[in-house]
Amino acid sequence: MNIKEYISSGVIEAYVLGLATEEEASILQCIRKNNSEVEQAILDAQLILEDFSTAQAVAPPVELKDAIWSQLNQQPVDTTTDSSFGFDENEKEAKVVPMTKKTTDWKKLAIAASVLFVASFGTTIYFQNKSKENQTELNALVAENKATAQSLDQLKEKWSLLQNPDLKTITLAGVEQHPDLKAHVFWNTKTSEVYLSSENLPKVPDGMQYQLWAIVDGTPVDAGVFDLTDSEGISKMLKIEKAQAFAITLEKAGGNPTPTLTQLYVMGNI
Amino acid sequence: MSPIHFIEEETLITLLKNKDQRAFNYLYDNYSGALYGLALRIVKSKEYTDEVIQNVFVKIWNNANSYNADKGKLYTWIINITRNTAIDYMRSKGVQNELKNQSLPNFVDVDNKEKHNFTILESVDHIGFKNVLNELKSEWKQLIEMAYFEGYTQQEIAVKLDIPLGTVKTRTRNALIELKEILKEYK
């Protein structure tokens, strides 16, 4: 998919409407940083929604402004923390105890000190836990990001391969026993390079491997064995200079010099 | 503190992060109408809207530090806060109240509940609030209403309207492009 197609796919509109899936949104976040066209398309779409809200404005009741301001003013003055952090109670406890009496009452001070200690100890534990949580979350996000980047790279690789004009795409369709299977061979007729996308081929039993064959003037020529890749990935196979068809059979691990024709899975003519 | 009629966005954000009353005044004077109109279309009752807008300003006030200018303008940020707050409000309190007020047969009849929703929305229109979406093709209007005001996911919309997910995406895009044209007349 090129950038124009990506922009017109509707994913940007879904994103600004808050409807994109997490995966779509994280890919978009990544692309917008590196592509000014996408960035501009997002800003344009956001502007539509801004204008939409402006055009549909309804005047709020007059008294609402003062009501809201007095509510904002009643909030704790603390500017660094969000009230939803949930450690306000500890703080209140800590603040009231030591200052109330002027006469030095060591017992009370001692209590106050221990309350303070417990409160600060509690807060420390709280933050330690919080920071552990954050670290775990961060690790998960990093892993997710890596996975996304990896599948994006695979897609990019496949895409740039497909754009090569010298590349022939041959669809290998399932034979009689396996009508639903398919695979794709991408064959560069100039450089003789052969790539394979295993699409929906089933898992193989232990000790077995798929083997790709080029049919050259009626004779099967080994084009290499391969393991299944995920749907986005491609495998590089052996070079083939000349062929009239490609086929895939199931063979013992490492491959065979000649194909086991009873284990023919998919085949396609050029 | 003298009133300010125009502030650069950057200055406004700094004032907001410092919890300066001028930031509140500026935001309220310039945007409360738009936010109120948006929330009203989601929660469909003025009483609820007052409460939602209060919550919105509390959130803007407390979360100013998490605003990220890389993701969009301040106006977009506060619009998103408003929309999310209003939809959450409907999901928790609003929807429950609505269900309580309904007679039992309606309570179990999902289709009926939907009609009920639409009548209220229609009546909001009738009290004289302009609905820009009326100028859109009905299928586009329905789509924006479901997606933007009712908070359905695209997957849910596809199922409800019985159209493919891809169609929902392209139709949403077309609806927004058309909306952009219509909005030019409102400027």
Domain assignment of residue A79, yes or no: no
Q: What is the pLDDT of residues A20-43, one digit of tens each?
A: 888 888 888 888 888 899 999 999
Domain assignment of residue A156, yes or no: no
> For a pLDDT cut of 90, what percent of chain A falls above it?
24
Residues of chain B with pLDDT under 50: 1-2, 99-124, 126-127
Residues within 8 A of B (CB atoms), A 2-31 only: 8-14, 16-19
Query: Which of the four pLDDT bands, split at 50, 70 and 90, describes residue A148?
Result: confident
Q: What is the pLDDT of residues A75-119, one digit of tens each?
A: 665 444 443 333 333 333 343 444 444 455 677 777 777 777 777
Query: Which of the four pLDDT bands, split at 50, 70 and 90, describes residue A55?
Result: very high
Exposed, middle or buried, A102 (CB in 10 Å: 0-12/13-18/19+)? exposed
Domain assignment of residue A158, yes or no: no
pLDDT at B32: 95
pLDDT at A114: 75
H or E element that contains A188: strand A182-188
Where does B1-104 sit in CATH, by number? 1.10.1740.10
Q: Which residues of B are less than 8 Å from A56 in CB distance?
A: 34, 37-38, 41, 129-132
Closest approach of chain A CAs to the CA of B104, in angstroms? 33
Q: What is the pLDDT of residues A185-222, one digit of tens each?
A: 989 888 899 988 888 888 888 889 999 999 888 788 99
Closest approach of chain A CAs to the CA of B36, in angstroms? 6
Domain assignment of residue A71, yes or no: no
- Contact in structure between B170 and A36 (CB atoms under 8 Å): no
Q: What tokens does A156 get?
A: 């990019």
CB contact under 8 A, B58 and A71: yes
Closest approach of chain B CAs to the CA of A4, in angstroms? 14
Q: Who among B37, B50, B147 is closest to A56 (CB)?
A: B37
Q: Which residues of A are less than 8 Å from B170 in CB distance?
A: 9-10
Domain assignment of residue A227, yes or no: yes
Q: What is the pLDDT of residues A109-146, one digit of tens each?
A: 777 777 777 777 777 777 777 777 788 888 888 888 88
Distances from the Cα of B161 to the Cα of A184, B132, B135, B157, angstroms: 36, 22, 21, 6
Whole-complex ipTM: 0.82
The sheet with strand A208-216 has its strands ordered as A219-226, A208-216, A245-252, A264-269, A167-174, A182-188, A194-197, A235-236
- Between A and B, how many residue pairs show a Cβ–Cβ distance under 8 A? 123
Domain assignment of residue A160, yes or no: no
pTM over 0.80: no
Q: Which residues of A are less than 8 Å from B79 in CB distance?
A: 49-50, 53
Q: Which residues of B are less than 8 Å from A51 in CB distance?
A: 180, 183, 186-187
CA distance A74 to A72: 5
Same domain flag for A144 and A178? no
Q: Please state whether beta strands A264-269 and A167-174 pair in parallel, antiparallel, or not at all (unpaired).
A: antiparallel
pLDDT at A39: 93
Which range (A3-7, A46-50, A51-55, B79-83) has the least confidence?
A3-7
Exposed, middle or buried, B116 (CB in 10 Å: 0-12/13-18/19+)? middle
CB contact under 8 A, A50 and B79: yes
Task: Domain count for chain A, please give it.
Answer: 3
CB contact under 8 A, A46 and B73: yes
> What are residue A262's phi and psi, to 5 degrees?
-70, -15
CB contact under 8 A, A82 and B63: yes
Closest approach of chain A CAs to the CA of B89, in angstroms? 16
Amino acid at B44: K
Residue of chain B whose Cα is closest to the Cα of A5: B170
pLDDT at A129: 76
Domain assignment of residue A64, yes or no: no
Going A60 to A62 to A64 to A66, the CA torsion angle's sign is positive
CB contact under 8 A, B57 and A68: yes
Domain residues for A39? 3-55
Same domain flag for A142 and A173? no
